[in-house]
Amino acid sequence: MANLTKTVRKLAAAALLIVGGFLCVQASWLPAKAWLSQQLIKHSWQQSISIMAQQQMQEEQQQQQIRSQDNTNPHSLSKPIAIKPWPWADTFPIAELVFQRIDKSIVVLNGGDPTTLAFSAGAVAPFNQPAAIKPFVVAGHRDSHFAFLEDIAIKDIISLVDARGKMQHYQVESIDIVDATIGQFPLIADERSLVLITCYPFKGITNSADERYVITATPL
């Protein structure tokens, strides 16, 4: 009987170790996936920035020749380069956000659909144009790509780099918790603000959440 009890205890301990290991793998999978996808996305982002810089250099040389000939001031014709982070991707990087105080950065994909948000934060249409005279709205999951938003504070500086390599600095002006079932978000359609959205609370035990954590930053 004593031997049987010892055997049962050993089996129970082994089962607990297996279950615990499984839970650890599950808990670490999301951060690992977020890290891996972000490396691929950053690589394609750097490629697009590099190609865009080369195009702008060539265009500038052509414009100088035109100006020397007829004294005109031609406008830039270069368009952002869309490079997919992997061949089957339905999206591409369009901006990079840099959070100076907490030393974080993330490359933003184009689109706010579930597939896009599974791999990174995404810019939500029609507010997905960094240089437009309207808000630039970025959504991300609270348990992976936007988990660090709970560390953002009022007056923090956020830098946005667009596909042309231009940088715009923003300062956090408000942090709101909004009931998503009501649908009232602090957006002003003609304001050049940066709005970051994720589910709330950050350490929620369920996959669904009725509240949203909304950070609004204004350009400096």
Residue 11 pLDDT class (50, 70, 90 cuts): very low
Tell me how many domains the chain contains.
Answer: 1
Report the CATH number that the domain containing residue 108 is assigned in CATH: 2.40.260.10
pTM for the structure as a whole: 0.75
Q: Does residue 71 form part of some domain?
A: no
**Contact 150/213 with Cβ under 8 angstroms?**
yes
**Domain range for 21:** 2-43+79-219
Q: Does residue 106 form part of some domain?
A: yes
Residue 174 pLDDT class (50, 70, 90 cuts): very high
Tokens linked to 122: 């995404």
SS (H, E, C) 108-124: EEECCCHHHHCCCCEEC
- The predicted-structure confidence for 87-118, as pLDDT tens digits, reads as follows 888 899 999 999 999 999 999 999 999 999 99
Q: Does residue 63 form part of some domain?
A: no
Which of the two residues, 134 and 75, has the higher pLDDT score?
Answer: 134
Tokens linked to 63: 């414009």
Q: Does residue 70 form part of some domain?
A: no
